[in-house]
Amino acid sequence: MKNPVIQTMLNHKSVRKYTQQKPTDETIQTIVRAGQQAPFASQLYSVLLTRKKAPFGAPLWFTICVDLYKLERFMQLRGWEVVTNDLSLLFFGIQDAAYMAENMVVAGESLGLFSCFLGNAPYMADKIARNFKLPPRVFPLVQLVMGYPAEEFPPRPRYPLSFTLFEDRYPEFTDEQVAEAMKVMDEGYLAQGYYAQQKAKIRLEKGRKETFTYEDYSWTEHISRKWGQWYESPEELLEQLEKRGFVIR
């Protein structure tokens, strides 16, 4: 199907090397304005921008936040108080902010700017809040560096549709079907030399013995190590939320 919007989305890739070219203010405003047109529950988001010392040498560094502060301010002017629990509002706000962020990525790529998401913002929420002097009830959800790419490579692999799209009911996967989906991801990443080029093997913890080399270390092992070893307790994230004024427990 020849469609420029779909082709832009199918060509998406996360870029970690950028040229020194700086986007104009008009380009930046266009990207954010396109982000605003994403679907939303209540526009529970705000976007922070800095052009200082962005990761990977990118010229733009956005932080997309869940923002209940603005909601509560205009509700006060209407004579209302928020009674909805913070967990529900946080979920709706995450949806709003995520849609905003994705629209910004697509808009940027349509203008020749590529990007990379940085997912650790919630664990640095208090530090980000101090840097940007955020009011209470604003929580950094995800960061996005963006600029003109200084590297070229094909899009990264994705699961086959048979492992993604389920009509009417969720299937009962056999081990063979799961292994086939794993094979698509792993062989695709190995063919591109993704982890070998970055030397990005996650260190094993808790006495596990290393058996992988960069000849066979790929996506499913990388992701298994990440979520099989990190963030076992929710306390650190709950603490960050509470510092920002969100009471979940």
Q: Does residue 1 register a pLDDT over 80? A: no
Token code pair at residue 202 = 């996650």
Token code pair at residue 147 = 């600029």
What are the residues facing 116 on neighbouring strands?
A: 145
Other CB atoms within 10 A of residue 78 CB: 6
User: Count of residues for the chain?
Assistant: 249
* DSSP 8-class letter at 149: B
Residue extent(s) of CATH 3.40.109.10 domains in the chain:
4-152
* DSSP 8-class letter at 41: S
147 sits in which H/E element: strand 138-147
pLDDT at 69: 98
| Each residue's pLDDT tens digit, 16-70 | 999 999 999 999 999 999 999 999 999 999 999 999 999 999 999 999 999 999 9
Q: Are 45 and 64 in contact (CB under 8 A)?
A: yes
| Each residue's pLDDT tens digit, 83-122 | 999 999 999 999 999 999 999 999 999 999 999 999 999 9
Cα separation of 196 and 213, whole Å? Answer: 9
pLDDT at 152: 93
| Mean pLDDT along residues 151-155 | 93
- HSE-up of 59 (CA within 13 Å, CB side)? 17
Q: Which residues contact 216 (CB under 8 A, 6 or more apart)?
A: 190
Phi, psi of 184 (to 5 degrees): -60, -45
Read off the pTM.
0.93
| Each residue's pLDDT tens digit, 173-223 | 999 999 999 999 999 999 999 999 999 999 999 889 999 999 999 999 999
Q: Which residues contact 26 (CB under 8 A, 6 or more apart)?
A: none
Q: Does residue 239 register a pLDDT over 80? A: yes
Report the side by side order of strands in the sheet with 60-67.
Answer: 45-50, 60-67, 138-147, 114-118
Cα-based angle 45, 50, 55 (whole degrees, multiple of 5)? 105
Q: Are 114 and 145 in contact (CB under 8 A)?
A: no
Cα separation of 242 and 249, whole Å? Answer: 9
114-118 and 45-50 strand pairing: unpaired
What are the residues facing 18 on neighbouring strands?
A: 149
- The architecture in CATH of the region 4-152 reads 3-Layer(aba) Sandwich (3.40)
pLDDT at 249: 72
